[in-house]
């Protein structure tokens, strides 16, 4: 469990108006002091004042009065029932798996400096900006699928995983979706307190193409649906993308293909995005982050009443004033 502390507030804030009474008591104390001083000067001869008016520890009386007022104010705060609010989210609710396309079409330069480098930079920024309590993992896929980094809170490990990505031939989107769904399900099943109504996590699929090898995309989509895993898809690139053939060096067009990805998002309960520039890709990641709270379930608010703390503080302060009164004013100690 992780918790985020919210500033203290009150269950009965309307009772704080009683602080006005405390303020009036303070004003009354000051008024009495002024009246007594004026009365002594008016009705007593100055040369006899020291003999008639008893000597009193003036500043000490004021300190004790101030402490008493503070104690009363703390008591009013206790009556207003102060609380501390926290929100908790389980690790199962905070798990993201990024599926990163490393097929050769990602070397297209229609996005500066090229799709691959722009996508890696955007992925780093996405990972860095995800809430620190949310686990993030990385899966790369070309013709084969590799779980590069298991879901973790270690952001530096993820950065290393992104840095180590390498391009390869073919695109296995169906296999990547299936693998990602299995990873999230396995981790969620390992949590004894898992709520089955909450998704085991989400998949963020970044690719510029369509499935060319392995399981059809539809099969991978169904695997995500069966696991209850929403898939957020990002179609990255433009229709003008092209790369040289690795063997013949012939120029091959590699336009982005968003239609298949849109179907994946719709069927799994995610959202589909299209990004033709590095800025649009960053915006897509930002939108995904904003939606993760709703997709992964609402955080549970826990309210802890703090009345006892304020009551104890009030008693302690008033006890201090009483003790000082005995010590300073009556000489009983």
User: Which tens digit of pLDDT belongs to each residue from 254-297?
Assistant: 999 999 999 999 999 999 999 999 899 988 888 887 777 554 54
The average confidence (pLDDT) of the chain is: 82
pTM recorded for the entire structure: 0.63
How far the first Cα of the chain sits from its last, in Å, is 52
Q: In sequence order, what are the residues at sequence separation of 6 or more whose Cβ sits closer than 8 angstroms to the Cβ of residue 60? A: 324, 328, 329
Q: What pLDDT score was predicted for residue 295?
A: 47
In this structure, the number of other CB atoms found within 10 A of the CB of residue 51 comes to: 9
pLDDT of 239 over the 90 cut: yes
What is the mean pLDDT of the segment spanning 175-183? 96
Least confident of 60-69, 81-90, 121-130: 81-90
User: Which tens digit of pLDDT belongs to each residue from 38-65?
Assistant: 655 555 555 555 555 555 556 777 787 8
Angle, vertex CA 268, rays to CA 264 and CA 271, nearest 5: 70
Three-class secondary structure of residue 246 per DSSP: coil
Neighbour-count burial of 138, counting CB atoms closer than 10 A to its CB (0-12 exposed, 13-18 middle, 19+ buried): buried
Angle, vertex CA 139, rays to CA 135 and CA 144, nearest 5: 165
Tokens for 78, please give them: 């206790």
Confidence category of residue 108, pLDDT binned at 50, 70, 90: very high
In this structure, the number of other CB atoms found within 10 A of the CB of residue 131 comes to: 14
Three-class secondary structure of residue 118 per DSSP: helix
> By C-alpha distance, which of 174, 107, 166, 170 is closest to 140?
166
pLDDT of 7 over the 70 cut: no
Q: Which residue has the higher pLDDT, 33 or 295?
A: 33
Residue with tokens 């919210």: 6
Question: Facing residues of 6 across strands?
Answer: 85
pLDDT of 184 over the 60 cut: yes
139 in Cβ contact with 145 (< 8 Å): yes
User: Which tens digit of pLDDT belongs to each residue from 290-322?
Assistant: 777 554 544 556 667 777 788 888 888 888 877
CA distance 100 to 214: 16
Tokens for 287, please give them: 């939108």
What is the mean pLDDT of the segment spanning 227-245? 92
């Amino acid at each position: 469990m992780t918790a985020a502390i919210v500033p203290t507030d009150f269950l009965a804030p309307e009772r704080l108006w009683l602080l006005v009474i405390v303020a009036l008591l303070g004003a009354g104390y000051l008024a009495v002091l002024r009246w007594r001083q004026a009365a002594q000067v008016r009705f007593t001869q100055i040369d006899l004042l020291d003999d008639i008016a008893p000597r009193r520890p003036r500043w000490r009386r004021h300190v004790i009065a101030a402490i008493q007022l503070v104690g009363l104010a703390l008591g009013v705060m206790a009556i207003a029932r102060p609380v501390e609010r926290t929100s908790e989210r389980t690790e199962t609710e905070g798990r993201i798996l990024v599926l990163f396309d490393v097929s050769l079409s990602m070397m297209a330069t229609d996005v500066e400096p090229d799709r691959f480098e722009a996508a890696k930079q955007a992925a780093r920024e996405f990972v860095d900006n995800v809430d620190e309590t949310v686990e993030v993992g990385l899966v790369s896929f070309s013709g084969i699928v590799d779980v590069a980094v298991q879901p973790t809170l270690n952001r530096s490990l993820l950065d290393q995983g992104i840095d180590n990505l390498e391009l390869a031939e073919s695109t296995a989107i169906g296999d990547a979706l299936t693998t990602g769904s299995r990873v999230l399900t396995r981790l969620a099943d390992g949590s004894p307190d898992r709520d089955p109504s909450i998704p085991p996590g989400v998949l963020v699929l970044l690719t510029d193409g369509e499935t060319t090898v392995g399981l059809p995309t539809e099969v991978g989509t169904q695997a995500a649906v069966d696991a209850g895993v929403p898939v957020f898809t990002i179609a990255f690139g433009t229709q003008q993308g092209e790369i040289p053939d690795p063997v013949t060096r012939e120029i091959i067009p590699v336009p982005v293909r968003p239609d298949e990805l849109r179907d994946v998002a719709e069927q799994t309960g995610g959202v589909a995005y299209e990004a033709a520039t590095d800025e649009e890709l960053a915006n897509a990641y930002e939108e995904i982050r904003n939606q993760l709270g709703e997709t992964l379930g609402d955080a549970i608010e826990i309210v802890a009443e703090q009345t006892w703390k304020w009551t104890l503080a009030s008693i302690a302060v008033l006890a201090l004033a009483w003790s000082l009164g005995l010590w300073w004013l009556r000489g009983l100690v």
